[in-house]
Amino acid sequence: MPPISTIEHGPPGTDLEAAPPDDAPLDLPSDGRRNGVHVLTDFIKTLPGKPGVYRMTDAKGAVLYVGKAKNLKKRVSSYVRTERMPIRLQRMVFYTHACEVVITHTEAEALLLESNLIKQLKPRYNIIFKDDKSFPYIMIPGGHAYPRIVKHRGARAKGSEYFGPFASAHAVNATLTALQKVFLLRSCTDAVFSARTRPCLLFQIKRCAAPCVGRISAEDYTDLVVQAREFLTGDSRAIQEEFARRMDAASAQLHFEAAASFRDRIRAMTSVQAHQDINVSGIGEADVVALHSAGGQTCVQVFFFRGGQNFGNRAYFPIHAADEEEAAILEAFIAQFYENFPAPKEIMISAPPANQALLQEALSLRAGRSVSITVPQRGNRRTLVDHAALNAREALLRRMAENTAQRKLLEGVAEVFSLATPPARIEIYDNSHISGTNMVGAMVVAGPTGLMKNAYRKFNIKTVDLSPGDDYGAMREVLTRRFARAQKEDPSRTLGQWPDLVLLDGGQGQLSAALKVMADLGISDLCLAAIAKGPDRNAGREQFFMPGREPFTLPPNHAVLYFLQRLRDEAHRFAISAHRAKRSKAIGMSVLDEVTGIGASRKKALLRHFGSAKAVAAAGLTDLQSVEGVSAATAKKIYDHFHAED
């Protein structure tokens, strides 16, 4: 539903990014200029007393805050009485230039919309849960007589079954390995499955039943799929008992090899069930969420239990004001955390969140079934919550120690490169290629919290007349594209897109190329440096190059040198990974892919007829027309593509 009202006036010339810290004393102007209080006072006059979501924005259109309300008029009216607010919220109200609302049918719908908008817009004054990683699942695809079992991330396909989420790729891989040992389900693609003429290695090591070559009937394989599904949903005791019965029967009939096979499968199943950190008896489908706060920071630890098994855990560090209450943090986290996947049947938490009943109603509405939020007080469930809370505490202590060490390193970087303040954003650049082919540029980013992987970028080198292996030319293209875009998208340098230090993997030549780019773009205030390997490319003897300074080195045991080496190595790793991905894609391509209008079926028909892409390129027009599915017009198009010079 579109906003029902918008007020577009406020304090002129205010700049939130240039504002003092949120907890600094707020001096309101005495010249009568309009501020957010006036804006909201006018806005309240048009508001209904209905549930909905409101957004406060500053003079530049940036969203300051997103909130929900059971009664919009009453909730927004509370912001006019600034004397009752902390200074941080007084500042938010003062910089409010406009306000927008969306009416919803219920308060639960408002909560869902609020969490969605917070994740999308990331307002400065909200509690923000940031996570750029999707959860892996185990998938059993539908539509095949012999379905495979694989790891899956991303969108779900209709007709397939998904089990999870798992906290990490390691957890899902370990479970898949055990499932292959127990149920012998295939993991190969449908194309490999249909092309096999003899069993693969997985059959030899007893991890696949080899349905591809008929070593198992469709009925028996379906039974294995059913058993795997039951195991993943927690019904494993009956499967173990059945395996034990069949093992005893095989042993009694002196079929010792078959008995040993069932014994190994029982052991594999037991290993999955026994690989638990704590006792989880009686827990079916549940998440355990525990919070620990200290020093104005918070860690939320989430444990995933599915089918009575521990699918792993993950720690999160939501962004919030130092004085935010734990109940509000927990509510905001849970609402945003289950934005992209349905909540389990039960969520056990360490303490009551704000609006627990409303949160439970909203999650049930989103999942399309009942979701229970409980705070266990005793028994196994309380033990689970206490265990998660302990992990949250330890994870927060580790993060705070790492952040302290990171700050010291950044202070050292500022000293080495003569920066006025410790850098908040360092960008490191490198190129990768083999003899000039498939050249790729890479940018990695580091900051106060470590590597910022969501800010990494790769650049496919597009310069046509670039000489093979011209690293300087590639660096010029990468930096030109990077900073020309920054000039266009963030000319005022207030959106955090500009680095405090640019570090290049290379020597004086790379630095000269970067200086030429900056001169062409009219950028003169960026700190540029290049890091080159020392004699014989020995680590620890790196040389640093900067404009206006003689090349210098750091002592081999210098902490900042080690830090810069790690940044350089990370850029190198990312560049090589991007290059390998591009090279692998190029290897799998055919010259026929370059012909416009030739799809997969026609390409397959041409290759079957001529035997190779090279033979297609050399074929005459009449021969091309004789291929089934290739019309005279298409044949002419193919012929002209390969004989353009003729």
Residue 29 has a CB neighbour count (10 Å cut-off) of 11
> Residue 30 has what pLDDT?
45
Question: Which residue has better confidence, 538 or 323?
Answer: 323
pLDDT in tens, 410-420: 999 999 999 99
Class of domain 591-642: mainly alpha
Q: Contact at 8 Å (CB) between 547 and 540?
A: no
Within the chain, all domains assigned CATH 1.10.150.20 are found at 591-642
> Residue 11 has what pLDDT?
39
pLDDT in tens, 84-93: 788 888 889 9
Average of per-residue pLDDT values in the chain: 83
627/618 Cα distance (integer angstroms):
14
* DSSP, residue by residue, 202-255: HHHTTS---GGGTSS-HHHHHHHHHHHHHHHTT--HHHHHHHHHHHHHHHHTT-
Average pLDDT over residues 171-194: 85
Phi and psi based region of residue 116 (left: phi greater than 0; alpha: psi -120 to 50; beta: remaining):
alpha
Question: Which residue has better confidence, 110 or 276?
Answer: 110
Topology of domain 286-306+313-398 in CATH is Nucleotidyltransferase; domain 5 (3.30.420)
Q: Is the pLDDT of residue 184 over 60?
A: yes
Q: Is the pLDDT of residue 112 over 50?
A: yes
411/178 Cα distance (integer angstroms):
48
pLDDT in tens, 431-466: 887 655 678 889 999 998 888 888 999 998 887 777
Extended strands (E) in 147-202: 150-152, 161-163
Question: Which residue has better confidence, 324 or 238?
Answer: 324
Closest CA to 427 of 438, 413, 439: 413
Q: Contact at 8 Å (CB) between 544 and 511?
A: no
* DSSP, residue by residue, 118-138: HHHH--TTS-B-----PPPEE
Q: Contact at 8 Å (CB) between 619 and 579?
A: no
Within the chain, all domains assigned CATH 3.40.1440.10 are found at 6-121
Q: Please name the amino acid found at residue 358.
A: L
Q: Is the pLDDT of residue 7 over 80?
A: no
- Residue ranges of alpha helices (H) inside 368-444 are 379-416
What's this model's pTM, rounded to 2 decimal places? 0.66
Phi and psi based region of residue 411 (left: phi greater than 0; alpha: psi -120 to 50; beta: remaining):
alpha
Question: Which residue has better confidence, 214 or 256?
Answer: 214
Within the chain, all domains assigned CATH 3.30.420.340 are found at 426-586
The domain at 6-121 falls in which architecture? Answer: 3-Layer(aba) Sandwich (3.40)
Q: Is the pLDDT of residue 198 over 60?
A: yes
Question: Which residue has better confidence, 22 or 96?
Answer: 96
Lowest mean pLDDT among 119-128, 169-178, 334-343: 169-178
> Residue 426 has what pLDDT?
95
> Residue 536 has what pLDDT?
60
Q: Is the pLDDT of residue 607 over 50?
A: yes
Q: Contact at 8 Å (CB) between 413 and 422?
A: yes
Question: Which residue has better confidence, 98 or 462?
Answer: 98
Per-residue pLDDT band at 422 (split at 50, 70, 90):
very high
364/372 Cα distance (integer angstroms):
8
pLDDT in tens, 276-299: 445 466 677 899 999 999 888 899
Q: Contact at 8 Å (CB) between 399 and 296?
A: no
> Residue 412 has what pLDDT?
93
> Residue 18 has what pLDDT?
40
Q: Is the pLDDT of residue 56 over 60?
A: yes
CA distances from 622 to 490, 625, 630 (A): 58, 5, 11
Residue identified by tokens 């924005």 is 57
Dihedral sign, CA of 497, 499, 504, 508? Answer: positive
- Chain-centroid distance, C-alpha 451: 14
Q: Is the pLDDT of residue 25 over 60?
A: no
Superfamily per CATH, domain 426-586: UvrC, RNAse H endonuclease domain (3.30.420.340)
Cα atoms found within 13 Å of the Cα of residue 344, Cβ hemisphere only: 25
> Residue 425 has what pLDDT?
94
Residue identified by tokens 């960026």 is 526
Per-residue pLDDT band at 16 (split at 50, 70, 90):
very low
Average pLDDT over residues 221-238: 79
pLDDT in tens, 524-544: 889 999 999 876 655 667 899
Strand order in the sheet with 6-8: 6-8, 98-103, 52-57, 63-69
549/524 Cα distance (integer angstroms):
16
